[in-house]
Amino acid sequence: MTTFNGNYDGKGLKIGIVVARFNDFLTSRLVTGAQDMLLQHGVRADDIDIVWVPGAFEIPLMAQKLAKSGRYDGLITLGAVIRGETAHFDYICSGVTQGVAQVELETGVPTMFGVLTTENLDQAINRAGVKSGNKGADCALGVLEMVSLNTQLDQI
Ligand code: INI
């Protein structure tokens, strides 16, 4: 029996971050959380590229472009969609969720979903580094683990 576990070694990895500018007072905190965690695990600052897009709905297209470029070991997508602010909430959430999942499965590049989809501003603030951790930092650990697994399983 063989068990596979990913590690969190970021040395030599190139990571792309696609982040929505909408609600940037929240999403910039997610970027900081992700960057700090990647740097702590050995990713070089020069090996982190950040692409800002207007809103969460625009994330999948740029994530797809980065994934298809073949230059990234893994990607992190970050955004904040808050229900109270838009009648489009369900459409935006469903577009970005399905889009990011499609990018990951079609390209095979590990792609983290760090888009907050919350009922209210408080829930979003709490997940951007206040009470309930930082979703960006969680995604940074997640992408390192998935890249490691992806590499291991490519070699069997
Ligand atoms: N985009 C977000 O990232 N978060 C939101 O809460 C949001 N709201 O509330 O509307 C939002 N809208 C913009 C959307 O993502 C697109 O940029 C826009 O519809 C243009 O395609």
* Statement: residue 85 has pLDDT above 70: no
Model-wide pTM > 0.75: yes
* CA distance between the termini of the chain: 14
CA of 153 to the centre of ligand 1 (A): 37
pLDDT for position 51: 98
Report the chain's mean pLDDT, rounded to a whole number. Answer: 95
CA of 58 to the centre of ligand 1 (A): 8
Mean pLDDT of 139-151: 98
